[in-house]
Structure 1
Amino acid sequence: MLDGPDGRAQADGILFLAEVFATLVAWLLLWLRTQHNLMASGGPAGAWTTLSDRRRLAALFALRAVLGLFAPAGLLLAALLFQAVAFVTSRRVRSGASSAARPLPPATQPAQLAPHAPTQADRGASAGAAPQVAYQELRPHEPRTIGGYHLLGRIGAGGMGTVYLARREGAATQVALKTINPELLDHNELLRRFEREAEVLAMVSGAYTARVLDSGVDAGRPYLVMELLDGRPLDVHLREQGPIRSPEALRALALALAVALSGVHRLGLVHRDLKPANIMLTTAGPRLLDFGIASIVDGTRLTRTGGGPGTLTYMAPEQFGDERVSTAADIWAWACCVVCAAHGTSPFTATSAGAAIRRIVDTGPEPAALAAVQALDPALAAAVARALTVDPTGRPTHGTALIELLTAHQGPNHTPTEAAAALRDQITQGWRTLAL
């Protein structure tokens, strides 16, 4: 029992400390939940569970707890009231972001593409064929809308960005929306690459490249909208089904990529990252993707942070030096991709980066890899061998020259229109022999 003035004072002190402690706990809990709501709303999948976020929140939590213990009770009550209001507001923001764009029913039917001028591949596709694209459901913390587009699912994600299945509000056409991951928005080099890809795709959109439909920035987050393509990348196809065994399909792939490069090179551009992961195998034919590090010939040089442009085993010898890269580097990469399609791996695959570079600049491609192309199409193998000349001047200088090399054995056509029609038919017929 606490009797007398001293006892009552002691009791009041204990009660005061209990009130301060309870207020502090309530304040911290509200603060923690508020941060969760604000950080998770519209963020990428797993943002709330990343190690960096947990460390930052833990440090702030401890700091606020220490400061709260020394704050007067009135200040704590004011902070608690403010935090309660902030918590309610964050709940409204989060629920509003979710309800403003409820996930639409899953795309169980084939996606419908908007009509467009047919390309060589499109004319060869069966009438009425529409892409069926595999996608995953959105996670709770992923955005539901970007730039006026409803996000229906996630097609794919990587270290730098995510591609969503999307549909513009009020439209029926489904599209592919590509955006940079939020945690990389302060990475200037990646932002330049993303902007570069949108710029290049707008210029080269045509046969055997992805058609860009829209681009913009939503709340500081850039996005790029492209036509929705069915199929899967060449590297995935090779991993799941093995090398291409049809001579007609292999030649169709080689010709289609040459046509795509021809369109790129005519604009004075170099792709610089041609590899199986950037080649989409669709029912309408191959499509060349990812122009994020494309450069203007004799123009500004964009490189990946921490390394040179391109992917090691598909890079031309001149890309390892200081000389400016020309369209001949894309011809080299084209040959590597053709060999990979027939053999399963790049002809310069090695056990280490150093060994791969030595093979590229010195010892040459793996004989067994070249033999795989030779067994399917000797004429194509000869073109590949020329495209893998170490000296860039010994290769076809651009995509159009590559097409001429690939079709030289077929004899002359009377007019450019007839030549284009013959090329289109050869790609279309050959592509139909490939089981996708």
Structure 2
Amino acid sequence: MLDLLDMALLITVGLALLVRLATLPVLVRAQTATRRRALAATGADATGGAPGGLGATFGELAIALVAAVGAYFAVYLEDLHSYFLLERPFDLDNAVYLAHEWRISPGVARTWYVALFIGFLLLWLLLWYLTQRKLLTKGLPREAWSSGSTRARLIGQVLLRAVIGVFLLPVGLLFSALVFQVTALLVSRRPRPVGTEGAATPAADAARAAQAPLNPYGPTAPPHWPQTPHTPQSPYVPTQFTPPAPQPPPAPPVPSSPPLGSPLSAHEPRTIGGYQLLGRIGSGGMGTVYLARRQGSATQVALKTINIELLNDADLLRRFQRESEVLAMVPGAYTARVLDTGVDSGRPYLAMELLDGRPLDAHLREQGPIRSAEALRALALALAVALSGVHRLGLVHRDLKPANIMLTTAGPRLLDFGIAAIVDGTRLTATGGGPGTLTYMAPEQFGEERVGPAADVWAWACCVVCAAHGASPFAATNTGAVIRRIVETGPEPVALEAVRALDPALAAVVTRALAIDPEQRPADGTGLLAALAAAQPTPPDPSAVHDQITRGWQTLAL
């Protein structure tokens, strides 16, 4: 049989549930308003979608107040005097009511009172946080959740609710708040679309695709390019327009809206260095990559620039200039070509050809390791060709990894030379900085000795193994284990076996490229190409390497 305290709790929770269910439309509008405000804060268009606004938000507060007053009078009319425990804020002296109701000692009652109150308070805060996370991540740009302003606002609201819960909120209303919050979390699982999120158009699809975590242009992330119903993947973007002969050339098409990327925000520029910005492909802590075209031209490019708040960082400007110089020197074979560089009002920019496809690491996450021996060899050959061109210029990439390998319809492309260094010893990092990614770094990169092209050959082998196995051959559970495996124990045998099962000849070159002593590896990209040719039963004509890569690449489903 229920005691008076149980009856009071049952009335409070039951009435809160009835009020909440009866006012679900107001909750939905309030949640939609939250999503629209978050979308507007990212700079995207938030004028479309379901209605919502401050009225719905204040309506939620009014509903909570009605539920509280209703619960108070319902219990009061029932003459449930134990409601004194529920109608007061948290206070250890209130434990005397619990001791009376449960017939336990005051000390035990205080322990139960504190434990139950803290438990329900933390549960309420957790449910509110999960609701906000669901609302700000479901179908919205990543900035809506990951921005610093959003994090600061959430932390502030959690602290405010904690203070209200401890010092002001009656204990009984905490149970009503839990009922409200559970309902809000359930409703947030299927939020209404807002802005361009609900528009079934190719532009909306491209805007959503632009949020994918891909990274072919330095610190930012390009989208999966939108697919057409007639081809398995969007065509390669041409760099010039050639009219059909003998007819006169038609006027170049001028797109009315950006087919790729997300819309520009109000504070972003519309032109940089004579390029019209059509949309934002992605952004990172250092810079932003825009979809752009030169004014008067139909050619679209990826235009990379430093964020305006970092223009006073001399070291960052020097790194950006260094990347521009390096990329401008690198030959176009299986690398991303630089089309233009310059400075506009003190803001440097870099225009690169627009590539389709996605990075190797994203391909491995979504489709798993490469299972075609021809495609794996095509990847290995293309990267060796790219490194050969880099090394002939006296450069070392120093950060070759799956995230810097773009899988396009025309073959692999080597990207991001931002930390490349001249072989003569020029260094752009601070002493001990050690550029590179740990599981793809050669043993010599952990010491003081000179890092040369052989370090890229090592990283090349790691990437080939990763493509066939799904992870670096030196992956381990912690940093110390990775370093020990690199400098002492050697690569994971199972990882090497994945390459050997597809192409034993390629596996032999990979094993040689992973020698701890740099002198025992192929010296550079040219030596790597020679080793790959010598390992084949019938070495191909050097001039036919491109055809071999193209044929092998056609066996890979992108």
TM-score, normalised with respect to structure 2: 0.54
**Equivalenced residues, count:** 322
- RMSD across aligned C-alpha pairs, in angstroms? 2.7
* Alignment-mate amino acid for residue 274 of structure 1: L
CA drift at 1:156: 2.4
CA distance in structure 1 between the partners assigned to 2:371 and 2:237 by the alignment: 31
- The amino acid that maps onto 2:512 is R
| C-alpha contact (below 8 Å) 1:149/1:168 kept by paired residues | yes
Go from structure 1 to structure 2 and tell me whether the alpha carbon gap of 1:387 and 1:287 turns closer, same or farther (over 3 Å shift): same
Matches within 5 A, 1:239-250: 239-250=365-376
Corresponding residue for residue 557 of structure 2: 435
Q: Note the C-alpha offset of 1:222.
A: 1.2
Change beyond 3 A, Cα 1:134–1:276:
farther
TM superposition shift of 1:111: 7.2
Higher deviation after alignment, 385-394 or 360-369: 360-369
Q: Deviation per CA, 1:166-201: give whole Å up to 9, x if none.
A: 111111000011112223223333222211111111
Q: Which residue of 1 aligns with 2:416?
A: 290
Q: Does the C-alpha gap of structure 1 residues 435 and 412 become closer, same or farther in structure 2, counting only changes over 3 Å? A: closer
| C-alpha distance in 2 between matches for 1:258 and 1:390 | 19
The answer to whether structure 1 residue 419 and structure 2 residue 541 are counterparts is yes
- In structure 2, what is the Cα distance between the partners aligned to 1:183 and 1:426? 47
Residue 121 of structure 1: aligned partner: none
- Going from structure 1 to structure 2, the CA distance change for 1:409 and 1:381 (only over 3 Å counts) comes to closer
CA contact (8 A) 2:375 2:552 kept: yes
Per-residue deviation at 1:357? 1.1
Is residue 512–residue 521 contact of structure 2 (8 Å, CA) maintained in 1?
yes
SS at match of 1:186: coil
**Contact 1:302-1:309 within 8 A present in 2 as well:** no
- Answer whether contact 1:331 1:396 (CA < 8 A) is retained: yes
Q: What is residue 365 of structure 1 aligned with on the other side?
A: 491
Output the CA distance in 2 between the equivalents of 1:401 and 1:372. Answer: 24
**1:113 matched to which residue of 2?**
238
Counterpart secondary structure, 1:208: coil
- Provide the C-alpha distance between the structure 1 equivalents of 2:374 and 2:348, rounded to a whole number of angstroms: 40
Letter in 2 for 1:314: Y
Residue equivalent to 2:25: none
248 and 134 in structure 1: CA distance in 2 versus 1, 3 angstrom threshold: farther
d(CA) in 1 for partners of 2:480, 2:555: 38
Residues 398/113 of structure 1: CA separation in 2 closer, same or farther (3 Å cut): same
**Percent identical across equivalent pairs?**
74
Shift of 1:353: 1.6
Of the structure 1 ranges 254-263 and 299-308, higher mean CA displacement relative to structure 2 is found in 299-308
Deviates more, 1:198-207 or 1:255-264: 198-207
Instruction: Assess if the C-alpha contact under 8 Å between 2:305 and 2:348 holds in 1.
Output: yes
The DSSP-based 3-state class of the residue aligned with 1:230 is: coil
CA distance in 2, matches of 1:304, 1:113: 40
Cα contact 1:189–1:305 (8 A) shared by 2: no
| 1:193 alignment partner in structure 2 | 319
Q: Which runs of 5+ in 1 are unaligned?
A: 1-39, 56-104, 117-131
Report the equivalent of 1:168.
Answer: 294
- The 1-side partners of 2:488 and 2:312 are apart by 40
Query: In 2, Cα distance between the equivalents of 1:294 and 1:235?
Result: 21
Distance between the aligned counterparts of 2:483 and 2:279, measured in 1?
Answer: 40
Amino acid at match of 2:531: L
- Structure scoring higher RCO (CA < 8 A, sep ≥ 6) equals 1
The aligned residue for residue 256 of structure 1 is 382
Cα distance in 1 for partners of 2:447, 2:480 equals 15
CA contact (8 A) 1:147 1:216 kept: yes
SS in 2 for 1:163: strand
Tell me how far 1:144 sits from its aligned partner. Answer: 2.0
Question: What are structure 2's unaligned runs of at least 5 residues?
Answer: 1-42, 44-142, 154-202, 207-225, 229-234, 242-257
Larger deviation, residues 236-245 vs 183-192: 183-192
How many angstroms apart in 2 are the aligned matches of 1:304 and 1:252?
A: 37
- Give me the whole-angstrom Cα distance separating, in 2, the residues matched to 1:379 and 1:190: 43
Find the aligned partners of 2:307 and 2:262 in 1 and give their Cα distance.
17
